[in-house]
Amino acid sequence: MSDVWVTLEQVEAGVHRLRIERERALNALNADVLDQIEAALDRVEADQSSRVLIVTGQGTKAFVAGADIEAISRVDNQAAARAFAARGQRLFQRFEESSIITIAAINGYALGGGLELAMALDLRIAAHSARLGQPEINLGIIPGFGGTQRLSRLVGPGQALWMISSGEPVTAEEAKALGLVDMVVPADTLMDECLRRAHILAEKAPLALAASKRLVMGSRDWTLESGLNQEAEAFSRLAVSADGREGTQAFLEKRPPKFQGR
């Protein structure tokens, strides 16, 4: 039986926290860890009350310091290497496609596969002590879990090419200036800030929350005309939904809304 390297807990109504607990290996990702992350995501998505998922690493040194280099070193053929990359890509794509809002609580090193995981999540909040990078070039390889694609979308192709080609990490403050993280906070307030934001999101109308994520994330790939059409269609559905009616009526009656997700 595999060791348990991922824990999932509900921290408040609508909010779960997933922690990668492989601290002696700096929370590095191997096949078992990826499987356990996916199983946790399955549980969160199966809970209809879920709204927000916070992902973090155990300890103070690392969020996730990368994929397991020892495991990569044992790959002896191209088909196996491709399968390993595809495994991580599929899982990280699931986070993007999920209706759940995801928050990366970057508590330390987010390198290689760790940065790729963080970039697949919706919001990224980093401790001042965090360091972020794609150092695979130093091993004679490149990112394989989506780093070449997501990093360029977040920081632009020039900066992405530099980070990937040099392997040089950036500080949390540098990452914020580049648009790679959304907020930088002291390490001892990191989880408090993530929970504060998660609480705000969890109280919003579920259908509108999911639509907001789908439309914002989709805007990276759609033309403006297509995106506007998608927005208008979603707005029209939500405006006549039970939650839409409840929200507008509550505003007029000057009371908090009671959203039901329908």
Express each pLDDT in 148-170 by its tens digit.
Answer: 999 999 999 999 999 999 999 99
Mean pLDDT value across the chain: 94
pLDDT digits (tens, 9 = 90+) for 74-86: 888 999 889 989 9
Query: Which secondary-structure segment (H or E) carries 89?
Result: helix 78-97
Above pLDDT 70, what percent of the chain? 99
Q: Whole-model pTM?
A: 0.93
Output the pLDDT for position 131: 97
Which tops the pLDDT comparison, 111 or 71? 111
**Residue 1: pLDDT band by 50, 70, 90 thresholds?**
very low
Instruction: Inform me whether the pLDDT recorded for 257 exceeds 60.
Output: yes
Judged by DSSP in three states, 116 sits in: helix
Does the pLDDT value for residue 23 go beyond 80?
yes
The pLDDT, as a whole number, for residue 74 is 84
User: Mind giving me the DSSP string for 58-80?
Assistant: STTTEEE--B-HHHHHT--SHHH
How far apart are the C-alpha atoms of 88 and 22, rounded to whole Å? Answer: 17
Which residues, other chains included, contact 242 with Cβ-Cβ below 8 Å and sequence gap of 6+?
260, 262
Q: Taking the CB of residue 215, how many other CB atoms lie within 10 A of it?
A: 17
Give the Å distances, CA to CA, from 19 to 62, 102, 261.
11, 13, 27
Task: Give the contacts of 36 (CB within 8 A, at least 6 positions apart).
Answer: 2, 4, 5, 6
**pLDDT over 80 (residue 137):** yes
Is 136 a catalytic site residue? yes
Partners of 9 in beta bridges: 17
- Which range (64-73, 219-228, 242-251) has the least confidence? 64-73
Stretch among 20-34, 117-131, 179-193 having the lowest mean pLDDT: 20-34
Catalytic, out of 45, 136, 203, 253: 136
Sign of the dihedral through C-alpha 114, 2, 86, 72: positive
Check pLDDT > 90 for residue 2: no
CATH number of 6-202: 3.90.226.10
CA distance 198 to 236: 27
Mean pLDDT on 24-31: 90
Tokens of 224: 């403006």
Contact between 143 and 198 under an 8 Å Cβ cutoff? The reply is no
Query: Residue 157 in contact with residue 151, Cβ under 8 Å?
Result: no
- Choosing from 21, 45, 116, 193, the catalytic residue is 116
Average pLDDT rounded to a whole number, residues 165-180: 97
Contact 103, 193 (CB under 8 A): no
Tokens 């039986």 belong to residue:
1
Identify residue 135 by its one-letter amino acid code: P
Average pLDDT (180-201) is 97
pLDDT, mean of residues 117-136 = 97
Q: State mean pLDDT over 97-105.
A: 96
pLDDT score recorded for residue 75 = 83
Burial of 58 per CB tally in 10 Å (0-12, 13-18, 19+): buried
